[in-house]
Amino acid sequence: MLVNIKDLAKKYKENVAVHSISFSIEKGRCIALLGPNGAGKTTTLQMLAGLLTPTKGTIEFIGYENKDYRPLIGFLPQHPSFFNWMSAKEFLQFAGELSHVPKKQLANRINETLAFVRLEDAKNKKIGSFSGGMKQRLGLAQALLHEPELLILDEPVSALDPTGRRDVLQLINQLKTRMTILFSTHILHDAEQVCDEILMLKNGTLKWNGTLSALKTEFDSLAIKLRTEEPLKGILEKLDFIENIEYLDLTTAKIAMHDTGKTSQLLQGLIRHNRTLVHYEMMQDSLEDAYMKVMER
């Protein structure tokens, strides 16, 4: 275990941004923090990064006695700020000194980190000339420079074009073998690509905490899309093993049933009621489907 978070909360006057949430972060895991806008994701990450003081609750790094745990954290805010008159190399020199990277190691760490984020050819260029994707990769380099135990990324790809998103997600995938990562996103496909575990927030309350596979198992249901030559309405309702029916038109329906062993009975029921099947498609729930079910409960 790397971090224990217990009863963490943040209140601004009468507005509660985060209600007492508790969870743990295991070493070596990649965790996605999901939730709609205003769910409390950024507030939670800023408390973990030491940038906001919690109203109540504790953040404990296991085996680390110093109360100031910020040296163990690498943080990339959603909108990183830079000195545009600096070069990338100068900015990382400045960031490394603030992070107390030993002087003997700093030059090598700057070169290694710039190479990792694929900015070595731009290290002497002014940051003001960088594209959005280059700035995001430089922000990631700043967060990595001191080799933190926990890397926290606040919506690292939300403002990027598809090429920039792909580049940053590839870097996150490579970093998973080196450090623990916690990142927030509202792009579910990105979470599915890189994360091991999911945390879901809604209105400052923790709605889900577990692995991606457990989420899919708990909320997965078998959906079948059917189309017949004759109208379906009134026929499917007679089959008691069907849990939900969504009619797309008179002859097409999407049905949900948890017992996959009943599929043969479904076909038999259609034949028994003289319906001619012209399309049959089994559909598995996506992460988006599971996410919506968690948000609605």
**Is this prediction's pTM over 0.75?**
yes
pLDDT, mean of each 10-residue run, the chain (297 residues): 93 90 93 91 93 92 83 91 94 93 92 93 94 91 94 87 86 90 87 89 92 78 83 85 86 79 83 90 74 82
At 38 the pLDDT is 87
At 221 the pLDDT is 65
At 284 the pLDDT is 65
Domains, the chain, in order of start with CATH, read 3-217 (3.40.50.300), 220-296 (3.30.70.100)
At 281 the pLDDT is 85
At 220 the pLDDT is 65
Answer whether 222's CB lies under 8 Å from 282's CB: yes
Q: What is the torsional sign of CA 195, 114, 139, 147?
A: positive
Q: Is 292 helix (H, G, I), strand (E, B) or coil?
A: helix
Task: Name the DSSP letter for residue 286.
Answer: P
At 33 the pLDDT is 94
At 95 the pLDDT is 93
Q: Which parts of 62-218 are beta strand (E)?
A: 73-76, 150-154, 180-185, 197-202, 205-211
At 222 the pLDDT is 66
